[in-house]
């Protein structure tokens, strides 16, 4: 018998929807034209892009020429930050981001910091929220761009974007700067992305989190926003993103956004019910569990918890044996061997982060899959706790706040590296 596969990692990626695939198929073989060409199949490809732009701009409530396609959400993030900074470097030198940003923002901001730009990383509260007052406090006439994720990809906590945008608007009066950017890659599936209501200048989208294809993302750029390209070439997409447009992926992206807009309202309610059942079930059947992120202001498909005394990667492997796919913020599961910086920014002790598990539900998740997890998880945790020599207490959250309070005086490898730098 084939092993049952239960997918609880929709924040990593989602399965392509058949309707999206159907829309894409002709553009691989039959309608293979390059949209830059004037003859018929070229014109058809161009039309296909126009349709996708229509679908996406309808969802964003913007004009179709306010959106450009990129190879990923990471590229869109890079274009927003580096593009704004390069276009306006004579007017300022400051970038404000939050501590919860995706690497696509974090890494480009850090690279610019090395080039002499000032980067302010706003702290977040234990509930994962950016305090709008903190943004306001740090704004000055040198600020080029503020970038706050709509919802981070680990806890799915929803940030007060419209509140922050009104603060920024009243700060800049009729000047164009600072721009306000948000990465909505994770949030789009379930949250409002009306750019007018949000009052946003730049917004990153990703297709593969919405049952669209991988390898395509995009950036909303409000009329009048000035960015410098980060990719140069034949001048496609208003010279902002050179390179032949990935027509099948763009068509799929448009279709996925449209599909998602139809799905969003009912889907949110459905997925929230399932997520709440999963959360309640775990807290009832597994002792010593902590919720990470905001208890209510969070995407309806996210559940991030820390299970004390067990290590995330071990748990991931055990669940994988049962066909259950999840993610963890544990150091052991990352390329860098560092625990999740997002969970650290929430003020969690390392001990808790190593045992963090992220369940992210999707449109395909069923009640029976939730029950399947609830059936196996408690026994798996119990077994790993028997292997573990630890017995942490929930109250230790306060006393362990000093990351250097270690038994045996051994500083963790990920800290030593930093100290020596």
Report, as residue numbers or ranges, the catalytic residues. 332
Among 331, 342, 377, 381, binds other proteins (CB under 8 A): 331
Among 66, 75, 309, 369, binds other proteins (CB under 8 A): 309
**Part of the chain binding other proteins (CB under 8 A), chosen from 234-242, 253-261, 290-298, 314-322:** 314-322
How many Å apart are CA 266 and CA 259, to the nearest integer? 12
Of 315, 335, 336, 339, nearest in space to 327 by CA? 315
Least distance in angstroms from the C-beta of 351 to other proteins: 4
Least distance in angstroms from the C-beta of 332 to other proteins: 3
Among 18, 224, 234, 408, binds other proteins (CB under 8 A): 408
161 vs 331, beta carbon nearer other proteins:
331
125 vs 403, beta carbon nearer other proteins:
403
What is the total count of residues that contact other proteins (CB under 8 A)? Answer: 38
H-only helix segments in 182-305 = 195-198, 247-285
Least distance in angstroms from the C-beta of 279 to other proteins: 25
Residue 78 vs residues 14, 203, 219, 312, 358: alpha-carbon distances, Å: 23, 12, 10, 30, 26
Helix (H) / strand (E) element for 53: namely helix 40-60
Least distance in angstroms from the C-beta of 80 to other proteins: 26
Q: What contacts 375, CB < 8 A, 6 or more positions away?
A: none
Asked if residue 406 binds other proteins (CB under 8 A), the reply is: yes
Asked if residue 420 binds other proteins (CB under 8 A), the reply is: yes
Asked if residue 298 binds other proteins (CB under 8 A), the reply is: no
Structure-block tokens of residue 383: 């077994």
**Part of the chain binding other proteins (CB under 8 A), chosen from 25-33, 146-154, 181-189, 307-315:** 307-315
Q: Which of residues 342-381 bind other proteins (CB under 8 A)?
A: 349-351, 354
Query: Helices (H), strands (E): how many in the chain?
Result: 14, 13
Asked if residue 83 binds other proteins (CB under 8 A), the reply is: no
Least distance in angstroms from the C-beta of 331 to other proteins: 5
Asked if residue 175 binds other proteins (CB under 8 A), the reply is: no
Phi-psi region of 235 (alpha: psi -120 to 50; beta: other; left: phi over 0): left
Q: What does the DSSP assignment read for 203-222?
A: EEEESTTTT--SS-EEEEE-
- E strands present in 274-378: 289-292, 302-307, 324-325, 327-328, 356-360
Among 332, 364, 375, 401, binds other proteins (CB under 8 A): 332
Structure-block tokens of residue 396: 């230790």
Least distance in angstroms from the C-beta of 328 to other proteins: 10
Straight-line distance from the first to the last Cα atom of the chain, in angstroms, rounded to the nearest whole number? 53
Structure-block tokens of residue 17: 């929807």
**Part of the chain binding other proteins (CB under 8 A), chosen from 32-40, 44-52, 290-298, 411-419:** 411-419
85 vs 353, beta carbon nearer other proteins:
353
Edge-first strand listing for the sheet containing 289-292? 289-292, 302-307, 356-360, 327-328
Least distance in angstroms from the C-beta of 397 to other proteins: 13
Question: Vertex 349, ends 345 and 350: CA angle to 5°?
Answer: 95
Q: What contacts 265, CB < 8 A, 6 or more positions away?
A: none
Asked if residue 412 binds other proteins (CB under 8 A), the reply is: yes
- The residues binding other proteins (CB under 8 A) are 309-314, 317, 321, 330-333, 335-337, 339, 349-351, 354, 386-390, 392, 400, 403, 405-408, 410, 412-413, 416-417, 420
């Amino acid at each position: 018998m084939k092993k049952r596969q239960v997918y609880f990692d929709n924040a990593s990626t989602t399965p392509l929807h058949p309707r999206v695939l159907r829309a894409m198929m002709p553009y691989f073989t039959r309608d293979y034209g390059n949209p830059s060409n004037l003859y018929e199949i070229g014109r058809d490809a161009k039309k296909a892009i126009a349709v996708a732009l229509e679908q996406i701009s309808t969802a964003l409530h913007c004009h179709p020429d306010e959106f450009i396609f990129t190879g990923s959400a990471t590229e869109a993030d890079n274009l927003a930050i580096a593009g704004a900074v390069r276009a306006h470097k004579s007017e300022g030198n400051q970038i404000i981001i939050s501590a919860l940003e995706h690497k696509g923002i974090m890494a480009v901001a850090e690279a610019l910091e090395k080039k002499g730009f000032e980067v302010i990383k706003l702290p977040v509260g234990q509930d994962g929220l950016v305090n709008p007052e903190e943004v306001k406090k740090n704004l000055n006439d040198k600020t080029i761009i503020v970038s706050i994720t709509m919802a981070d990809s680990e806890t799915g906590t929803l940030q007060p974007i419209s509140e922050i945008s009104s603060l920024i608007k009243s700060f800049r009066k009729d000047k164009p700067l600072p721009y306000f950017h948000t990465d909505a890659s994770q949030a789009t599936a379930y949250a409002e992305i009306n750019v007018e209501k949000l009052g946003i200048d730049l917004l990153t989208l990703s297709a593969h989190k919405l049952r669209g294809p991988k390898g395509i993302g995009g950036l909303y750029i409000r009329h009048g926003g000035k960015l410098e390209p980060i990719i140069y070439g034949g001048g496609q997409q208003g010279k902002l993103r050179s390179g032949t447009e990935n027509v099948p992926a763009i068509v799929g992206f448009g279709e996925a956004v449209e599909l998602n807009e139809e799905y969003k309202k009912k889907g949110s309610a459905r997925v929230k019910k399932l997520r709440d059942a999963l959360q309640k079930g775990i807290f009832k059947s597994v002792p010593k569990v902590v919720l990470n992120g905001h208890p209510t202001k969070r995407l309806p498909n996210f559940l991030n918890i820390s299970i004390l005394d067990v290590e995330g990667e071990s748990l991931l492997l055990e669940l994988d044996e049962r066909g259950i796919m999840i993610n963890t913020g544990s150091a052991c599961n990352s390329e860098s061997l560092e625990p999740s910086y997002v969970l650290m920014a929430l003020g969690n002790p390392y001990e808790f982060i190593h045992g963090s598990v992220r369940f992210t539900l999707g449109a395909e998740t069923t009640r029976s899959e939730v029950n399947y997890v609830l059936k196996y998880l408690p026994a798996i945790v119990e077994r790993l706790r028997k292997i573990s020599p630890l017995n942490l207490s929930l109250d230790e959250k306060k006393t362990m706040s000093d990351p250097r309070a270690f038994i045996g005086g051994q500083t963790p490898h990920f800290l030593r590296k930093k100290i020596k730098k």
